[in-house]
Structure 1
Amino acid sequence: MSALVNVLVAVAVVALIVSRQVRAQQLTDAKRWWIVPAVLVYLSVRQQGLVDPDHHVVSVLLLGAELVTGLLMGAAWAWTTKVWAEPDGSVWTKGTRATAAVWGVGIAVRLGLVGLGALAGIHLGTGALLLGLAASLLVRSGILVWKAQSVRASYGAAGGTTARPLWKDRV
């Protein structure tokens, strides 16, 4: 896959994520939270040039820094996301202003890592970007699923249990 396609995939995923963060959204498909990160990992690992062969050690260190940045950004992103339950038991999420700040800091750090690599003559390729994004999504999704399990209905369910969704009668 070409670098342009990888960049377009990363931009499309980020645009989708950011657009979904600015409005409240029901948290669904808790069993499949790992699929998008897995696809991004597959796309990043299957291509050549994830590590610069001329600067192997330093490029691995930069890739590691990208992964750590992704993991920290995903954790901060999840912890700054508001999670609540509606009276019917459905769980909702919405990013806050702090979430936007996490995105800004994360992008700045990633640009700084790319700049450091460029100054050292290291080319990480777009696979590192996709791998860092996958790490962010994986950690964020995992934490949100975990947080959603502990969220109780806003009206307080009897006996302290989590409210179950009400089934609607169909005619």
Structure 2
Amino acid sequence: MTALANVLIALVVVALVVSRQLKARRLDTERRFWLLPVILAAVALRDPTLIDHAHRTTAVVLLGGSLVTTVAMGCVWGWTVRLWRDEAGALWSRGTRATLFAWLGVIAVRIGWYGAGAALHVHQSSDALLLSLAGLLLVRGLVVNWRAQNVERPHTLAA
């Protein structure tokens, strides 16, 4: 895919995910939260220029560092989501103000990695953005689903 297409895909996914996260939504832990990250990763890994062959070691370190920090940010993001059960026992989630700041942090980190690559004259494929987004969404989903297992049902008073 072209760089513009990858950036547009990433922007659409981010806009969709952020808008959904900031609204209270019923959480379905049986949902295939991993499907979108797998698709994004598959698209990204098809790119033969994901690693700059002229600067292979530096490119691998940059991509690896980017993925590690993005995955860490996915953990942070997963912990910023508020989880609760309603009276019927249904599980709900909603992003908080911290969720929005986590997203801003992810964007800042991503820009920082691109800046480091540019300073080192390493070509960075736009597919690295899709791969990072895949890792971010996957880890966030894992954290939220793990946390959801520990959300207690509301206590009801015996009649």
TMscore range, shorter length: over 0.9
- Is structure 2 residue 60 aligned with structure 1 residue 60? yes
Paired-residue identity, %: 44
Superposition map of 1:1-171 within 5 A: 1-28=1-28, 30-155=30-155
Aligned length: 158
Alpha-carbon distance between aligned partners in 2 of 1:88 and 1:27, rounded to the nearest angstrom: 13
- Shift in Å at residue 157 of structure 1? 9.2
- Provide the aligned C-alpha RMSD in A: 1.5
Alpha-carbon distance between aligned partners in 1 of 2:111 and 2:61, rounded to the nearest angstrom: 15
User: TM-score, normalized by length of structure 1?
Assistant: 0.87
Q: 1:34–1:141: 8 Å Cα contact kept in structure 2?
A: yes
Q: 2:29–2:145: 8 Å Cα contact kept in structure 1?
A: no
> Greater CA radius of gyration, 1 or 2?
1
Alpha-carbon distance between aligned partners in 1 of 2:142 and 2:38, rounded to the nearest angstrom: 13
Alpha-carbon distance between aligned partners in 2 of 1:15 and 1:63, rounded to the nearest angstrom: 24
Alpha-carbon distance between aligned partners in 2 of 1:44 and 1:132, rounded to the nearest angstrom: 9
Q: 2:52–2:59: 8 Å Cα contact kept in structure 1?
A: yes
Q: Which amino acid aligns with 1:90?
A: A
Alpha-carbon distance between aligned partners in 2 of 1:139 and 1:157, rounded to the nearest angstrom: 37
Deviation beyond 4 Å, 4+ runs, structure 1: none
Q: Which amino acid aligns with 1:68?
A: V
Which ranges of structure 1 fall in alignment gaps of 5 or more residues? Answer: 159-171
Aligned residue for 1:30, secondary structure, equals: coil
- Shift in Å at residue 155 of structure 1? 2.9
Query: Deviation digits for residues 22-42 of structure 1, max 9, x if unmatched?
Result: 111111252411101100100
Alpha-carbon distance between aligned partners in 1 of 2:49 and 2:106, rounded to the nearest angstrom: 23
- Shift in Å at residue 113 of structure 1? 0.7
- The verdict on how the C-alpha distance between 1:157 and 1:57 changes in structure 2, with shifts beyond 3 A counting, is farther
User: TM-score, normalized by length of structure 2?
Assistant: 0.93
Aligned residue for 2:93, secondary structure, equals: strand
Which ranges of structure 2 fall in alignment gaps of 5 or more residues? Answer: none
Alpha-carbon distance between aligned partners in 1 of 2:59 and 2:156, rounded to the nearest angstrom: 52
Q: 1:25–1:94: 8 Å Cα contact kept in structure 2?
A: yes
Greater shift, 149-158 or 17-26, is seen at 149-158
